Structure 1
C-alpha cells in the first residue's frame, strides 16, 4: 500500500435514513404521477359531455334520458343521421357556416398579418399609440356598439346578407396583436439584409415574414375559424332569411320545431361540432407551436 492510497479518504457510505438523490427522484415521480392523474380526470370531465352527446345521437328517442344512464347505445340507431338531413335544411346551414368561416378566416389572417407587419417593422409617428388604441378595442364589449353597427349595415344595404357578417369580422384586433408579437421574435437583421438587396417592404412581408410565421398564422386561422363557426348572436341579428341561416341558427329553429326529438337534436349537435373537432385535431401541432412561440423575444 502506497502513501497515496493511505491519504485517500474512504468512500462515503449513505446512512440508512439519509435522503439522497434516488429519494428525491422518487418524490418527483410521485408528484408527476399525481399531475398526470389530475390531467386525466380533467380530460374525462371535459370529454364526457361530448361522449354522451355522440352516444345519445345513436339511440332511439325514448332511450336518451333513461335512468340509469346507458353509456352504450343498444340498439345503435344510425338512421338518426339520415333523418336529420331529411327533416331539416342541414345542407344549407352547413354550407353557409362553412362559407362564412372560410372567408372570414382568410380575410382576418390576411389583414391581421399585414397590419401586424406594419406595426412591428415600419417606423412612423404615433405607431405605438395607434397600436395601443387599436388593441384596446378588444376590451370594449360588442354589445356597446352593436346597435350602431346594425344601423351602419342597414344604411349600406348589407343587412340580411352574408356580406354583413364578412364585413364585420374581416378585421380583428386580436389577430393583429398575435401576429405582431410573433413578428417581433424574427431578427431584424433578416429585414435589413433584404432591404440592402433591394427588396421592398411588401416583398419582405411576402417572401420572408409569411413563410416564417406559419405556426402563428395557423393559430390565428384556427381560432378565427372556430369563433366564426360557433357564432350565434351575429347571424341572429343580421341573417333573417331561412336560406341564409347558419348551423347555429338552424339548430335553434330545429329545436323549436322538434323539441321532443332529443335523439335528432343530439345528432344535429354532433354534426355541428364534428367539423371543428376535425380541423382542431389536424392543426393542433401548429396551434400549440404558434402559441408557444408567440411573444418570445430573441
Structure 2
C-alpha cells in the first residue's frame, strides 16, 4: 500500500470540512428562502381554520386551536363560488390551450425558418414585453368594445393570447432540436404540419407543461383585466369575487381567508399533476 503523507491527509480532512460547511450554509440559505415563500401560504390556511375571535388574539398562535371548518362552509354559501370557479376555469383552460398552441407554432416558425425578416418579427414580438400592461390597456379596451366582446368572457381571453415570454420559451426549445430530424422527416414525405404535430410536439412535452403552468396560473390569478372588461357580476372571475368580499368599512377576515384558500386549491392540483413531467421528462427524448 502507498502511504499518504501526513500533510496531504490533513489537507484532505480540511477540504472535506470546508465542503461540509459550504453545503450546510447553502442548504440553510435555501431552506430560509423556502420558509419565506411558504410561510404566507401556511398563514392563510392556518388562519382560515381559526375561529373569528382567534384571528387577532394575543399572543399570536401559529397553529389553529381548536380547528374549525365552518369558515369554508360560510365562504362557499355566502357567495356564488361554483359560478365564479366555472367562469375562471373556462377562461383559464381555454386561454391556456390557445396560448400553448399559438406560442409553440410561433416559436417553431421563428426557430426553424431562416428568413431575414423572421428576426425582425421576433424583435417586434419581444419588444411588446417591454410595454407595461397599463400602457396598452386603453387601446385594447377600444378594440374589445369595437368587436362587441365587452362584458364577455371571450373579451378577457383573446387579448392575452399573444404572450411574448411563452413564444420565447418555445423558440429557445426548438432551436435545440437537431435539424437532421426534420430533414429526415421531409425526405420521407412528411408535410410541415405533420412534422410539427407528430414529431415536434411530442419532443416539446417539458416546454408544453412549463407554458401550461405559467399560463394557467396567470389566467387564474388575473384581476385587473377581468375587473375592467366585465360588468355583469354573474361573469366575475374568482379574483374579482374575492375583492368584492372586502367591505367599504369592515372586512370579514375569516370569510376572506377561507375563500382565498379555496381559490388556491385548483392551482395546487395543477402543479401536482404537471410537476413530474417538468422535473422528470428529458427534453432530448427521441433525439438520436
Scaled by the length of structure 2, what TM-score is found? Answer: 0.92
Whole-angstrom CA distance in 1 between matches of 2:233 and 2:221: 18
Whole-angstrom CA distance in 2 between matches of 1:123 and 1:201: 15
- Radius of gyration: which is bigger? 1
**What is aligned with 1:88?**
79
Unpaired stretches in structure 2, ≥5 consecutive residues: none
Tell me the CA shift for residue 95 of structure 1: 1.0
Q: 162, 175, 186: which is aligned to 2:153? A: 162
SS at match of 2:246: helix
* Stretch of structure 1 that moved more, 38-47 or 18-27: 18-27
Tell me the CA shift for residue 293 of structure 1: 6.0
CA 1:164–1:95 in 2, change beyond 3 Å: closer, same or farther? Answer: same
Tell me the CA shift for residue 288 of structure 1: 4.5
**What is aligned with 2:190?**
199
Asked if the contact 2:203–2:283 (Cα under 8 Å) also holds between the matched residues in 1, the reply is no
Q: 212, 225, 228: which is aligned to 1:221? A: 212
Whole-angstrom CA distance in 1 between matches of 2:234 and 2:139: 26
**What is aligned with 1:178?**
169
Asked if the contact 1:222–1:287 (Cα under 8 Å) also holds between the matched residues in 2, the reply is no
Q: 114, 121, 142: which is aligned to 1:123? A: 114
Question: Cα deviations across residues 180-223 of structure 1 (Å, max 9, x unaligned)?
Answer: 10001111000000010111111110111000000001000100
Residues 21-100 of structure 1 aligned to structure 2 (within 5 Å): 21-100=12-91
Asked if the contact 2:104–2:170 (Cα under 8 Å) also holds between the matched residues in 1, the reply is yes
Asked if the contact 2:245–2:251 (Cα under 8 Å) also holds between the matched residues in 1, the reply is no
Question: Cα deviations across residues 123-168 of structure 1 (Å, max 9, x unaligned)?
Answer: 3341111111111111111111111111111111100110111111
SS at match of 1:71: coil
Unpaired stretches in structure 1, ≥5 consecutive residues: 1-9
The CA RMSD measured in Å over matched residues stands at: 2.2
Tell me the CA shift for residue 238 of structure 1: 0.2
**What is aligned with 2:256?**
265
Scaled by the length of structure 1, what TM-score is found? Answer: 0.89
Aligned residues: 285
Tell me the CA shift for residue 122 of structure 1: 2.2
Whole-angstrom CA distance in 2 between matches of 1:280 and 1:258: 37
**What is aligned with 1:5?**
none
Asked if the contact 1:219–1:288 (Cα under 8 Å) also holds between the matched residues in 2, the reply is no
SS at match of 1:177: helix
